Amino acid sequence: MSIKEKINIVYIDDEREEAISAYLEDYYQNDKYVIEYEEIKFIGEKGYESLLESPIVASANVILIDSKLFENDSIKHSGKFSGEEFRMILRKVFPFIEVLVISQNGENKEYDIIPKYRSGSSEIEMEYYGRVLKSKLDECIGKVITFRKISRKLESNKGIEKFLIEKALDSLNGINNYEDLAKEDIDRLITAFQKIEQE
């Protein structure tokens, strides 16, 4: 019997939603993989850099993040930005982490945002997240597994420069190269994303 691969799922919020937390910790399952779950309480005063420097974030395979996380008044940042913009920043630093953005403002297919449960629905919270979140999580895990399979092939490929393979594998394994990216670079990225959104 083969050993199941492990998938790390991380939920990041400043005010965690109990239903999301309960669904991810107690209800979500994937028969093919061992699911490990962790949460991070985001503290605005520490800024988004605290997440990029977090070993929990670095070792994540799938992250669920609130769309409004970086928009409250306590954020240590010159310009506020959204969870979907942070998803792009995270992809620059950790290209192999899959990020899901969830919002209380409802679905936004253009930016691939998942709506949070609304009270008064005909479904209970766990049914709702089972319907809306499970398929998205399964899809993200599928992408992570594909990256892992490709990385195994990559390791045995003698035609590719060793340094490039090591950089790719480090990123896939959550080794943080954040220090290669200056805060000013990320701030410029955020400004560029905001301009695109306004057009």
C-beta of residue 3 within 8 angstroms of C-beta of residue 12: no
Look up the pTM and report it. 0.78
C-alpha–C-alpha distance, residues 57 and 94, integer Å: 9
Residue 196, H or E segment: helix 183-198
Block means of pLDDT (10 residues each) for the chain, length 199 residues? 85 90 94 93 82 90 86 53 76 85 69 81 91 94 87 70 64 57 56 54
C-alpha–C-alpha distance, residues 199 and 196, integer Å: 5
C-alpha–C-alpha distance, residues 159 and 55, integer Å: 32
| pLDDT value of position 115 | 86
Pairing state of beta strands 113-115 and 98-103?
Answer: parallel
Residue 35, H or E segment: strand 34-41
C-beta of residue 97 within 8 angstroms of C-beta of residue 91: yes
The domain 6-198 is placed in CATH, from the list 3.40.50.2300, 3.40.50.360, 1.10.3720.10, 3.40.50.620, at: 3.40.50.2300
| pLDDT value of position 24 | 96
| pLDDT value of position 34 | 93
| pLDDT value of position 163 | 61
Q: Where are the domains of the chain?
A: 6-198
Phi, psi for residue 39 in degrees, rounded to 5: -125, 150
